[in-house]
Amino acid sequence: MSKRYAMVIDLRRCVGCQTCTAACKSANATPPGVQWRRVLDIESGKFPDVSRTFLPVACMHCANPPCMHVCPTTATKQREDGLVTIDYDICIGCSNCIMACPYDARSIEHDPRYAYGEPMKSEIARFDPERLSVATKCTFCKERIDLAAVTGQTPGLDPDVTPACVNSCISGAMHFGDVNDPDSNISMLLAETRHFRMHEELGTDPSVYYIWDGAKA
C-alpha cells in the first residue's frame, strides 16, 4: 500500500499560541492576509458550563478532494502519497477550487503585499511572482517530504523532513506521519485516542485528524 501522509492534532494539548501559524508564514513566506495555517478560537456552551477550544486548520489534503475535481486546468493534483498540490504554471486563478473547498484552505492574491507597505529585504528575497493571481494553500511542506526520499529520513520523526508547523508546536499537539502504516507514530496515536475529522459527512476523506479524548475506558 502506498504511503498516505496525514496530520494528527491533539485538541487537548493545543493552547492557541499560534506558533504553528508563525512557523508556516516563516517557512512559506506567505504575504500579509494569507495564512495557509491558522488556529481558530472557539468558545462554546452557556455560563457557567463553557469551554474554549483551539482548532488549528489548514488544507486537509483530502483523499477525495473536491478542489481537484472542479479544477478546470488540472493545476490541482493529488500525489501518490496523498498530498494535494497546485501547479502555479497551469492555474488560471478561476477560484473554482476555493468555492469547492469546505475548509477555507485556499486563497488567491492578485497584488504583492508587504507587512509594512514597502517591501523589506527579506520580503524581496523571498517574493515569488509565480504565486500571484493563482490559488495557493498549505503544501504539507512538500519539499521537506520530498527530501525524505533522498535522505532516507522519516517524515514526522525527523524534523528536517517534517512540516514546519509540526516541528514548531510548543505543546506537542501536532503529529505527522504515514497513516497507511499501522506501525507509524500517528497510527499508534490514533489507535489509542478518540478523534474526528472535520466535516467528514461531506465525503472529502480529509487527512487531518483531531484528537478530542483518550481511549474509551
Q: Give the interface size with ligand SF4 as a residue count (CB under 6 A).
A: 30
The binder of ligand SF4 chosen from 105, 145, 161, 169 (CB under 6 A): 105
198 binds ligand SF4 (CB under 6 A): no
The binder of ligand SF4 chosen from 8, 14, 23, 101 (CB under 6 A): 101
Element (H, E) at 77: strand 76-78
What does DSSP assign to residue 191?
H
The binder of other proteins chosen from 29, 63, 70, 189 (CB under 8 A): 70
Nearer to other proteins, 46 or 121 (CB): 46
Q: Percentages helix, strand, coil for the chain, rounded to the nearest 5?
A: 25, 25, 50
CA 119 – CA 102 distance, rounded (Å): 33
- AA letter at 45: G
Those residues with Cβ within 8 angstroms of residue 102's Cβ, 6 or more apart along the chain or in another chain: 66, 199, 202, 204
Annotate each residue in 156-195 with x if it binds other proteins (CB under 8 A) or - if it does not, as one string: --------------------------------------x-
Residue 159: CB minimum distance to other proteins, A: 26
CA 58 – CA 139 distance, rounded (Å): 9
Q: Give the interface size with other proteins as a residue count (CB under 8 A).
A: 55
